[in-house]
Structure formats: C-alpha cells, structure tokens
C-alpha cells in the first residue's frame, strides 16, 4: 500500500472510492474504472477484511483514511490533499456505472459545471434499492428543496464530479453519510452551476451500511446546519 499518496497518474481527474469492508466488490469496481481509462484512488476507512489488498492487487492507489469518521471524513481528507483538478466520487459496491465517468468529467471540463450529480433514479435496476430506501431518498430530496431552496433530483447520489477549484474543503463539516447533502448545499450557497445527469444504479454487493433511521436524521440535521451557517 502506498502511504498517503492522493494524486494519481491522471493529469487532472481523481476517481475517489471511499471504502469500508468492500472486498467482495472493490476488485470489480477498480477494474472497471481502469478499463475506462482512469487510475482509481481507494481511501479505506480501516476495513477488517481484505478490501485494501484486493483494491491494490487490481491496480488502485490505496490510502488508509487518517481522518476520524466515516465516508464524509474520507472525502474531506482527499479534498484537503488535492489542490485542483476534478474529483469524481464513486462507491465501491458495484452500484454505479463506471462507463459514465467520462460523461460527468466532460460536463465539468468542457461545459464548465462546478458540480455534476449522477441521477440514480433515471435507470435503476429492479431491487437495487429497497422501498424504504427509495422513500428515504425522496424525503431527502424534498427536505433539501424545503430547507436549502433548490430541487436537485438525487441529492444523496454517491456518484458525482466536482471542480476542486470551486470548493473549500475547510467549509465542509460532514464526516459521515451526510457528506453528499452538504456538498450539494455548498454548491447552492456558492452559486455553482450544478448539472444532474442520468446514470444507472445497480443492486449493491454485500450489506448496506446506511442506517435507515439514524443516518436519515443525521442528513436532515446536516441540511439544517448548512442552512444556518451558509449564505443562501
């Protein structure tokens, strides 16, 4: 494992995959990302299984997360260690379509968007998301519209691209699964050009780590916090 190496060999694109116990799926995700022309950066939150070894064996740059917390802390750590370029966020559970990375990168690089969000609901595999998760996501989208004032279709999508020149990581306080909602709120507060693009969503490998009630409450609290401390 290469220690604390955040810049991959790609000129201006970092495909970041936060992981925790994803040995069942991470190898396929890494292979798919590489097949599409990118060198993935896996930032691992201290997996108890062989996630790190499988990721590195399949060609990823692997960094063990040093910031305390979960997915949000991993994303902030990567943002803190990259000065510029385009950051693509992708989950390590085989739920997203790596062939769509080019599309969201192009939207930032060529079309000038600061934030591009992959809309999972555009092409969702049957049983990819439970009815309760669908309901929770719909509630999050509606809550975001009410609290933040903008409707973005899929606020909690784990597949997105951001222009790092337009983001100040010091302003991002999320350390868990509320990271996506805060990235969206930050973009709205900064007046970013945000694009929602259709993507595909597949049934995940392994058990979901999202606590349906506890994480939903955290996400709503994060939206309220963003409303309080950001300019809208």
State pLDDT tens for residues 82-130.
989 999 999 999 999 999 999 999 999 999 999 999 999 999 999 999 9
Q: What is the pLDDT of residue 212?
A: 61
Among candidate residues 208, 62, 42, 222, the one with its CA nearest the CA of residue 230? 222
d(Cα 214, Cα 191) in Å, to the nearest integer?
30
pLDDT at residue number 3: 41
- pLDDT confidence of residue 2: 42
Which candidate, 59, 101, 107, 109, places its Cα nearest to that of 84?
109
**Per-residue pLDDT tens digits of the chain, which is 232 residues long:** 444 467 677 679 999 999 999 999 999 999 999 999 999 999 999 999 999 999 999 999 999 999 999 999 999 999 999 989 999 999 999 999 999 999 999 999 999 999 999 999 999 999 999 999 999 999 999 999 999 999 999 999 999 999 999 999 999 999 999 999 999 999 999 999 999 999 999 998 766 666 567 788 999 999 999 999 999 8
- Mapping DSSP to helix (H, G, I), strand (E, B) and coil, where does residue 130 land? coil
pLDDT score at 214: 78
Taking the model in full, what pTM does it have? 0.94
pLDDT of 215: 85
Q: How many Å apart are CA 11 and CA 112, to the nearest integer?
A: 18
Gap between the Cα atoms of 165 and 232, Å rounded:
20
For the chain, what is the largest distance between any 2 Cα atoms, rounded to a whole number of angstroms? 45
198: enclosing H helix or E strand: strand 194-201
């Amino acid at each position: 494992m290469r220690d604390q190496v955040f810049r991959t060999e790609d000129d201006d694109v970092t495909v970041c995959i936060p992981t925790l116990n994803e040995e069942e799926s991470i190898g396929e995700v890494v292979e798919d990302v590489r097949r599409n022309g990118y060198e993935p950066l896996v930032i691992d939150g201290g997996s108890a299984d062989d996630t790190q070894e499988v990721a590195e064996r399949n060609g990823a740059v692997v960094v063990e997360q040093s910031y305390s917390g979960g997915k949000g802390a991993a994303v902030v750590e990567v943002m803190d260690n990259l000065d510029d370029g385009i950051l693509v966020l992708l989950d390590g559970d085989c739920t997203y379509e790596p062939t769509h990375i080019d599309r969201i990168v192009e939207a930032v690089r060529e079309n000038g968007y600061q934030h591009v969000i992959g809309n999972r609901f555009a092409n969702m595999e049957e049983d990819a998301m439970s009815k309760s998760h669908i309901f929770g996501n719909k509630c999050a989208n509606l809550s975001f519209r009410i609290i933040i004032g903008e409707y973005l279709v899929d606020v909690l999508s784990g597949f997105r691209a951001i222009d790092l020149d337009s983001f100040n990581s010091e302003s991002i306080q999320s350390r868990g699964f509320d990271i996506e909602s805060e990235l969206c709120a930050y973009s709205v507060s900064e007046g970013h050009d945000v694009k929602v693009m259709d993507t595909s969503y597949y049934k995940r490998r392994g058990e979901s780590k999202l606590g349906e009630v506890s994480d939903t409450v955290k996400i709503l609290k994060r939206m309220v916090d963003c409303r309080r401390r950001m300019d809208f």
